[in-house]
Amino acid sequence: MGAINLKMLLESQTLERAPFPVPVGWYFIDHAENLKAGEMRNIVVFGQEWVLFRTEGGKPGVSDPYCPHLGAHMGHGGKVCGEHLRCPFHHWEYDTDGNCKAIPYAKVMPPITKKGPILRTLPTVEKYGMIWSWYHPACEPPAFELPYIPEMEDATGYTGSRRGSWTANTCIQEIAENGVDVAHLKFLHNAPMIPPVEASYNGQQMHLDIGKGYIVGEMYGPGLNVMRFNQVNPATGKPVTSTMISYSVPISHDQTQMNMSFRHVDYPEGTTELAFSKKQIDHMIGAAEGEESAGFESVDFIVWNNKKFRPNPLLCDGDGPVLQFRKWFKQFYVEKPKLDEAV
Amino acid sequence: MASVTVIGRDGSRCSIDAVGGCPLMEALRDAATGVEGTCGGACSCGTCHVYVQADWLAKLPPKSEDEQMMLEAIGDLVPLKEGSRLSCQIPLSPELDGMVVEIAPPL
């Protein structure tokens, strides 16, 4: 008793807020409607600037800004020409895969342009009405495909235009860890109790069940989370499910843009199901009317924006499966490739 | 050190003394023979094209894939011969002392 555990007491001195690189994964870039054919603009994501553009034919592209020729920033003064991004400096043109397709004043195209891409681009797809890019620090191709989400992809049956976007000054792992940390729901969010949680892992996917079927969902890599809230509509005694789709993006290694879309079944106007669905979604976001527990909007940021990461957390019997979550998440961290010195 | 005989585009002959280890392209470029060496030796411009006389071909290092592709590409614009090489890919050595090369036509 009274012995000093110096290691414990002084560990705080060595802690960092976000000691991880940007993880590998599919990430939301923008809503598809925000990028018209022929448009281009600069974005900052994954710790650097990129040029986001859409070809005249409608293909979205995300490319490194610096032209491989002499380094001009193509996002300043560059242009979309047909299916290509054109550099302002000497009008070299690139397709969405980063192949140099034209050098207007060269008599001969350098052979390196025939061998493969010379401009770094991110594999980019359009899904759920959104533009998604695959980030990998060594330019490896996607390790999995984005899943089918009926609430977002079915032509009929679902509706809901509520969305939210928030900036968190921490890394994406800290935000994702929130999902398994069920204890904080009672104390930070004022939920009536700590719900039970079951998490299982399958490759790049995590399955989560909070409250024995209350909130059930999947995480697909760090960048996509689909959670379905299942509750009984008190007016009918029948279950109603609303869906929260969460698509956070690492802006840098220590800043994350959180984005959410909320969808529900397209119940007819005036039904109790519709009213209950809306209440479910209110609850997901912030305090719903008549409820005391808070959604993440107000309270989680107070913690995220100030906490540090404890690599050796002191967990008790009531805590959720944080360590298993961290072990699963580790797979998304990849070494930056060491390139030989240029000759 | 190697002494290389250069046949210019106008048919004139001269001799260039070049430092061993340096690419032939640099010596040709610096001697104002018409070889530009714009890309600095990356096989991406084709402006250092020379015709190496037959007896010397076997002494040269084999063509890389990049040199081969570049020669094929410029073949649409200028004549290619048996001795066609990119001089940026020929490092000078005492073995090449006395080599004769002809500057190929410009692109």
Q: DSSP string spanning B70-82?
A: HHHHHTTTS---T
Instruction: Indicate yes or no: CB of B44 within 8 angstroms of CB of A114.
Output: no
Q: Collect all residues of chain B within an 8 Å Cβ-Cβ radius of residue A108.
A: 45-46, 70, 73-74, 76-77, 107
The torsion angles phi and psi of A334, rounded to 5 degrees, stand at: -125, 140
Radius of gyration of chain A (CA): 23
Instruction: Indicate yes or no: CB of B42 within 8 angstroms of CB of A112.
Output: yes
Per residue of chain A (343 residues), give pLDDT as tens: 578 999 999 999 999 999 999 999 999 999 999 999 999 999 999 999 999 999 999 999 999 999 999 999 999 999 999 999 999 999 999 999 999 999 999 999 999 999 999 999 999 999 999 999 999 999 999 999 999 999 999 999 999 999 989 999 999 999 999 889 999 988 988 888 999 999 999 999 999 999 999 999 999 999 999 999 999 999 999 999 999 999 999 999 999 999 999 999 999 999 999 999 999 998 887 644 445 555 556 688 889 999 999 999 999 999 999 999 999 999 999 988 888 754 4
Q: Collect all residues of chain A within an 8 Å Cβ-Cβ radius of residue B45.
A: 108, 110
Q: Are A57 and A83 in contact (CB under 8 A)?
A: yes
Instruction: Indicate yes or no: CB of A108 within 8 angstroms of CB of B69.
Output: no
**Among the listed residues B22, B89, B85, the one whose alpha carbon sits nearest the alpha carbon of residue B53:** B85
Q: How far is CA B66 from CA A83, A330, B83, in A?
A: 27, 40, 17
Q: Collect all residues of chain A within an 8 Å Cβ-Cβ radius of residue B42.
A: 110, 112
Nearest CB among B43, B44, B107 relative to A107 is that of B107
Q: Are A206 and A218 in contact (CB under 8 A)?
A: yes
Residue B39 has pLDDT above 60, yes or no: yes
Instruction: Indicate yes or no: CB of A111 within 8 angstroms of CB of B42.
Output: no
Tell me whether domains A25-135 and A156-332 share a fold. no
What's residue A289's pLDDT? 47
Mutate to test the interface with B, among A69, A90, A108 (most CBs of B within 10 A): A108
Can you give the residue ranges of every domain in chain A?
25-135, 156-332
Instruction: Provide, rounded to the nearest whole percent, the portion of chain B with pLDDT above 90.
Output: 93
Rounded Cα–Cα distance for residues B104 and B100 (Å): 13
Which residue ranges form the domains of chain B, and what is each CATH number? 2-103 (3.10.20.30)
Of residues A1 and B32, more confidently modeled: B32
Rounded Cα–Cα distance for residues B104 and A44 (Å): 48
Token pair listed for A295? 């959604």
CA angle A129, A134, A140 (to 5 degrees): 155
**CATH architecture for residues A156-332:** Alpha-Beta Complex (3.90)
Q: Are B43 and B70 in contact (CB under 8 A)?
A: yes
Q: Are B8 and B33 in contact (CB under 8 A)?
A: yes
Mutate to test the interface with A, among B43, B44, B45 (most CBs of A within 10 A): B44
B44-103: pLDDT as tens digits: 999 999 999 999 999 999 999 999 999 999 999 999 999 999 999 999 999 999 999 999
Nearest CB among B66, B69, B77 relative to A107 is that of B77
Q: What is the mean pLDDT of chain B?
A: 95
What's residue A293's pLDDT? 55
**Among the listed residues A226, A224, A219, the one whose alpha carbon sits nearest the alpha carbon of residue A247:** A224
Mutate to test the interface with A, among B70, B76, B88 (most CBs of A within 10 A): B70
Q: How many of the other CB atoms lie within 10 Å of CB of A148? A: 10
Whether ipTM tops 0.85, in short, is yes
Q: Collect all residues of chain A within an 8 Å Cβ-Cβ radius of residue B46.
A: 107-108
Q: Is A22 helix (H, G, I), strand (E, B) or coil?
A: coil
**CATH architecture for residues A25-135:** 3-layer Sandwich (2.102)
Rounded Cα–Cα distance for residues A78 and A62 (Å): 14
Instruction: Indicate yes or no: CB of B73 within 8 angstroms of CB of A112.
Output: no
